[in-house]
Chain A
Amino acid sequence: MKILLIDDSRTMRNIQKSVLTQLGYTQVEEACDGQDALSKVNAYAPDLILCDWNMPNMDGLTFVKTFRTQNKTVPVIMVTTESEKSRVIEAIKAGVNNYVIKPFTPDLLSQRINETLTKKAA
């Protein structure tokens, strides 16, 4: 299972990586913004993407919209402080499969990852 982790904060990438490691997922590629992620996503071919929203250079929503023009199947979980209902709807319309609001507990992130992968496998 290959996972692409997109967040401009190294601290947040490390926190999420440690949850992924606990779940047994150790193949993780990191990107620091949407542009960096677009430059890596085709070569890396992830099975799951975790993506922040507010980032410099290219935000997460723009990344998801661009990525979805070329790939409609790889699940994307948005992990963000954006908690307004209108923002969640915007993200879902752009092609996000699941949503985690920061701050989150490791259990919540694990639950969303498992939900998303179970749905993909069904």
Chain B
Amino acid sequence: MDPAFITPFIASIQHVFATMMQVQVTVGEPQIRSAPTATYDVSGIIGMSGDVVGSVVLSFPKASAQRLVALFAGQEFDTSSPDFADAIGELTNMLSGSAKGMFQGKKKVTISCPSVVIGPQHVVARPKDVPCIAIPCSTDCGDLVIEIAIAQAPVAAANA
């Protein structure tokens, strides 16, 4: 994967968490993730289309997700609450939207509305032949990971 696609997500997670929750994010070494399952039990998922295609997953252990959602939304929610999923979806939306604005060149990229999946060992279908890069992150509220499986669109698809 083009490293130019990774850097914006690192800047974006730090910016979003600092601005919305006053939480500092320490970013670890990006790694290739070959397992089809998401890293943790709570995942916010966004699709990208246009000049860049693929998916972005923000994956949290339940405990980290609950602490971060409490800071973001200003109140605690059980993971079964629709408001919990809404908050995770919005954090994923901000991460992806902010990152796509930092892609180099004048790329036209559209992001989907977020989906949220909660449960152990859930599988996120990723685009074929696009490697998934996992960026581990740690915060005072716990760990999380950004899983990025995106690539430059083939010319025909980008022009469609």
Take A18-B74, A103-B16, A105-B19 as given contacts and tell me if A54 and B101 are in contact as well, using a CB distance cutoff of 8 Å: no
A70 to B94, CA, bound (A): 31
Neighbouring B residues of A62 by C-beta, 8 Å: none
Interface contact B19-A54, CB-CB below 8 Å:
no
Interface contact B87-A102, CB-CB below 8 Å:
no
**What band does the interface of chain A fall in when counting residues whose beta carbon is under 8 Å from B?**
20 to 34
Interface contact B83-A11, CB-CB below 8 Å:
yes
Closest to A55 in B: B113
User: Is B76 an interface residue when CB atoms closer than 8 A count as contact?
Assistant: no
Interface contact B97-A12, CB-CB below 8 Å:
no
User: Is A86 an interface residue when CB atoms closer than 8 A count as contact?
Assistant: yes
Interface contact B20-A103, CB-CB below 8 Å:
yes
A54 to B101, CA, bound (A): 14
Interface contact B97-A82, CB-CB below 8 Å:
yes
Neighbouring B residues of A97 by C-beta, 8 Å: none
User: Is B128 an interface residue when CB atoms closer than 8 A count as contact?
Assistant: no
Interface contact B101-A9, CB-CB below 8 Å:
no
Chain B 101-135 near chain A by CB (<8 Å), digits 1 or 0: 10000101001010000000000000000000000
Which A residues between 1 and 50 are near B, CB-CB below 8 angstroms? Answer: 8-12, 14-15, 18
Neighbouring A residues of B96 by C-beta, 8 Å: 81
Interface contact A10-B113, CB-CB below 8 Å:
no
Chain A 89-122 near chain B by CB (<8 Å), digits 1 or 0: 0000000000001111100000000000000000
A11 to B106, CA, bound (A): 31
User: Is B15 an interface residue when CB atoms closer than 8 A count as contact?
Assistant: yes
Neighbouring B residues of A83 by C-beta, 8 Å: 97-98, 101
Take A11-B72, A14-B73, A84-B101 as given contacts and tell me if A104 and B19 are in contact as well, using a CB distance cutoff of 8 Å: yes
Closest to B75 in A: A14
Interface contact A54-B113, CB-CB below 8 Å:
yes
Neighbouring B residues of A103 by C-beta, 8 Å: 15-16, 19-20, 94, 98
User: Is B90 an interface residue when CB atoms closer than 8 A count as contact?
Assistant: yes
A-B contact pairs, 15 of them (CB 8 A): A8-B113, A10-B83, A10-B86, A14-B73, A15-B74, A54-B93, A54-B111, A81-B101, A83-B97, A83-B98, A84-B101, A86-B108, A101-B98, A103-B15, A103-B20
B interface, CB within 8 angstroms of A: 15-16, 19-20, 72-74, 82-83, 86-87, 89-90, 93-94, 96-98, 100-101, 106, 108, 111, 113
